[in-house]
Amino acid sequence: MDYTAGAPAFAGVDTHKETNMLALKDGLGRTVGVWEFPADPEGYDALADAIGDASVPVGIEGARSYGAGLAQRLAERGYEVREVVRPRREQRRRGKTDEIDALAACDNLAAGRSMPAKEMEGDAAALRWLMVAREQEVAHMTRLACCMDSMLVTAPYSVRERWRGLGGAALMRAVASCRPKDAPGRTMREVARSWREAAGRAERLEAEILELMARSYPALIGAPCVGAISGARIVLAAGSNPGRLRSEAAFSMLCGTSPVPASSGNTTRHRLNRGGNRQANRAIHEIARARMAHDPRTKAYIARKMSEGKTKREAVRCLCRYIAREIYRLLTGPQEPPCDQSALAQRRKACGLTQRQAAEGAGITRAKVGGLERLAEFHTESLLRYDAFLREVEAKKGLDSI
């Protein structure tokens, strides 16, 4: 379907599992043409050839789902690939077809309602696969735990009494280790053993995620109360190119922590943001809750916000916005660790110190020292204090830092 118009200035693509619909428009918004291509390597090249000029920006709806292969191929051929937002509801009133959606992608690209496509390469791609596998194992554990609860409700009285007072992981491990002779007990044991196997797989996957995060994102994993899973969720939301987000405010909007005005009359307030990437939003809220429980500075911050007249919910939203700002700077800043963490134990032993002495000298707990040395802890502040203490001892003893 061809129309008489000028040279293409914008390209929009509506992606599907089997086909991709391409629409081209000129600088005046006139349609140059609309074509359909198969969603395979040959179709990707044919679509790129139809665009022709590599200087024409391409807006793809679903660049990280059905359009992932196309976006990668176009980027390899030198095209500027951008993710366009879905058509607005008022645009849907004109109907919905693949052709209409492709033309809408062109319009959104021309109107500036787009952003650079998220990339998932290298360690970020590896994190994605590990997280998908772990989430499946955790979901399987949840289903098995619910199954166990329902079985206990209808089990004989003697079985219920045997396991009364136990719950969660303790119940599952106890049931998995028992030797029942009746059918209900054997069935419950098989469910518990399945749960235990899934828990073991989830733990191994989490260990791999922690190792990958420590190697590729040490600055992020070293922030207070940022764990391997919460950090991985944030990395997956930002992609391997977090610099595509133009500012920390844009990152906050991506995470659903940007303030949404809800003022009226003499009331000035902001409400909960229900948009953004919900997994990233979940991770930031988990970090916020952990800091509120364990970080003295965060406790003081919440108290100050509440003294200003904010409710606790509003104070937590302010905290989440602050955390998003901090995380954006960690993601886009240098990722080099402050020191060689793997050499801490060797340095401590060279100084003739026990873990208890090192903990007292650095002003951190003995458990934290052990975690840092085993590469099970990656708290930047504790790492810097431990490293500074060892340097001080090494200087007094005339030792060189390893």
pLDDT at 5 over 90: no
pLDDT at position 92 is: 60
Mean pLDDT of the 160-180 span: 88
Cβ neighbours around 88 below 10 Å, total: 11
Which tokens go with 31?
Answer: 């349609």
pLDDT in tens, 183-231: 888 888 999 999 999 999 999 999 999 989 988 888 898 888 999 999 9
Annotated domain spans of the chain: 10-116, 123-216, 228-332, 341-397
Percent of the chain scored above 70 by pLDDT? 93
CA 167 to CA 185: how far, in whole Å? Answer: 16
Q: Lowest mean pLDDT: which of 5-14, 262-271, 301-310?
A: 262-271
**pLDDT band at residue 94 using 50, 70 and 90 as cut-offs:** low
pLDDT at position 90 is: 53
| Residue 316 · residue 288 · CB < 8 Å | yes
pLDDT at position 2 is: 42
| Residue 269 · residue 263 · CB < 8 Å | yes
Phi, psi of 23 (to 5 degrees): -125, 135
Which tokens go with 40?
Answer: 């395979």
Based on the number of CB atoms within 10 Å of its own CB, is 129 exposed (0-12), middle (13-18) or buried (19 or more)?
Answer: exposed
58-61 and 10-15 strand pairing = parallel
pLDDT at position 400 is: 58
pLDDT at 162 over 80: yes
CA 309 to CA 305: how far, in whole Å? Answer: 7
The 3-state DSSP class for residue 177 equals: coil
Q: Which fold has domain 341-397?
A: 434 Repressor (Amino-terminal Domain) (1.10.260)
CA 151 to CA 154: how far, in whole Å? Answer: 5
Q: Lowest mean pLDDT: which of 17-26, 27-36, 327-336?
A: 327-336
260-261 and 114-116 strand pairing = unpaired
Tell me the pTM.
0.78
pLDDT at position 142 is: 95
Q: Which fold has domain 10-116?
A: Nucleotidyltransferase; domain 5 (3.30.420)
Which tokens go with 147?
Answer: 């199954």
Please list, in sequence order, all residues whose beta carbon lies within 8 angstroms of the beta carbon of residue 43, skipping any fewer than 6 positions away.
Answer: 19, 20, 37
pLDDT at position 3 is: 43
Phi, psi of 19 (to 5 degrees): -140, 160
Q: Lowest mean pLDDT: which of 77-91, 108-122, 315-329?
A: 77-91
